[in-house]
Chain A
């Protein structure tokens, strides 16, 4: 889990214009760190029925989460199809159809990649708990992509370990480790790009909340630390709103234009954030951003 923010930063820097899909829900490790990533489930049928019913409540920019609705999944996606680099994060070991780059969480094992495919072994995260993730890509793109990633790895800070090598025509490796206690980036996400269960999708102005009594948001997984969460609003003060983490109310306080709470997210899944107002959210209220600092 400590690797996802690093890998997100690495890919964003290495491959400008990248379009991303995180098919790792209910974990959603990549989702918060690459804003605009479309969220989904690699194998919805394998989920606990209640978890599947929960995820089916969410819409992301008006669309169901990937993997839950074959018709919606098959519809044209203007953010995905035209992109040169289409990255899919998945816990299953096979290349994701339609993706030019498949990032397999936890790696693909020791067997060589299938014919025509190449693999970059990514060892990333905290130096006392490195994680392996494998990037599967067409063999002809290995050298170029590897060089882009190596160059981007110069984002490393003091004390970081970085390295890598081209192991074979089909295989390379890249190492990016940070010393304990780890380097965790601040998170700042526009609310409208996150999966939520409001009827209206929202836009650049944020999520319209006027009159809303209850709202669920799926920000994706955060490394298991204590986070200071700030929800920023516009159009009105949020008033007496209650904040929930995975369905349970947590203490929160109002600050000008926002709400602040401390959260301890679970390690193994994306938490669901909730907001509730007894008499509905105030007129004109919009949720603009979600910010989290470790």
Chain B
């Protein structure tokens, strides 16, 4: 039977990005249902066998590209090209983190667009934070927790997949019931392949059989609370701690005094550390509903996991993980670790429970089948509700405007600074007038108005 084509737009390995690993793990499952290709920014990205890798700029030339598209979007700059592609053509989007403010900030999105998103997410709070951002350019961690910029993704996608009910609920609270009618929950995915056994992994890493090993993993963002781990281990000097991943420079000296920090690891080394562990500590505070690839790997390996009872982690069954309260997190962690170190069989039992849960809920064939159901149901569905047109604030420079409008479709507003009114006057004398001089082909000028020291153009972009 012919499989319909599906284009996944996502970073892929060797990008140091958990979503790249997720996408690579998901593709073989989707390939059972679709003729898959992966559109990338890095042309030398690595896809599983049988999946073509195509330069995103040329993906529209693939036969059948007018059909199904699946976007993988996370909250970092590695996903800027995915957002651009979604703007150009709607599809189904996996939203790995409902926040997205960091994505918008780190990919150079116009401040007016960010402020508009903030206003939409939390109207009552925006005035103060917008003043900080506009006046002093200040964007603190609070901004990233308070303001969710997922509105555009919700509006442009035919369906949105999140990994937890928590993430869906968070989207509902911010954007309303109507905006999330097309949001589906599909659990995270077990990594491909069979993880090594504990003994094998320990032999490989030179860790003694009787040693109690605690592992933390991935990029050590502040929300992973390595500070709590550090505090919890103050009274447990016999426990060995390895951080399998990178630690920000500011945090590294403090963590490095107690833990061995491996730095970024290839996938097989990463898996070996998780499989060798007696316990994976995978805390989050605050959580924005993000999912965790490290946790999925630990569940697959049957490694006991300690998580924070928050966000998506709070949805895991009680016999699959140890979930700690947020209040008194370090103390609770110390107690849990001491108990596990005294009774390692309990850690093994929880690890087995976690593996059973993962194999039932997170196995690739089951996840891929659920993806297929969402993709097919969304096939004829228009993108969600329409957003107010984005407002882009720019200098009156054709190249800047072309770059800002690239990939956008539909209604859009431009606010052009009038600092250089002589240049605007000169451009208005170009063949075809100001619009032809400043706007890319196909952009239709619907209205123009002076606002303060700016010229606001209402545009309709093709596509």
Which residue numbers of A lie inside 8 Å of B, CB to CB? 44-45, 47-54, 56-57, 67-71, 74, 214, 216, 242, 244, 246-249, 269, 272, 274, 276, 278
Contact = CB atoms under 8 A, between A and B. Distances in A.
A71 B437 contact: yes
B338 interface: no
Contacts of A67: 441
Contact of A242 (B43, B56, B407): B43
B52 A71 contact: no
B397 to A, nearest CB: 11
Interface stretch (B57-65, B106-114, B260-268, B282-290): B57-65
B55 A247 contact: yes
Contact of A248 (B54, B409, B431): B54
A45 B43 contact: no
A46 to B, nearest CB: 8
B58 A246 contact: yes
B398 A71 contact: yes
Given A276-B43, A276-B44, A45 B442 contact: yes
B344 interface: no
B36 interface: no
Contact of A44 (B44, B58, B441): B441
Contacts of B407: 53
A56 B402 contact: yes
Given A52-B442, A244-B43, A248-B52, A70 B60 contact: no
Chief secondary structure at chain A's binding surface: mixed
B206 interface: no
Given A74-B430, A247-B58, A56 B440 contact: yes
Interface in B408-463: 409, 427, 430-432, 436-437, 440-442, 461-463
Contact of B88 (A53, A74, A214, A247): A53
26 contacts: A44-B441, A44-B442, A45-B441, A45-B442, A45-B462, A47-B442, A49-B88, A53-B57, A53-B88, A56-B402, A57-B57, A70-B436, A74-B431, A214-B42, A216-B55, A242-B43, A244-B43, A247-B54, A247-B55, A247-B61, A247-B62, A248-B54, A248-B58, A249-B43, A249-B53, A278-B44
B43 A246 contact: no
Interface in B92-125: none
Contact of A54 (B57, B409, B441): B57
A246 B39 CA distance: 12
Contacts of A51: 60-61
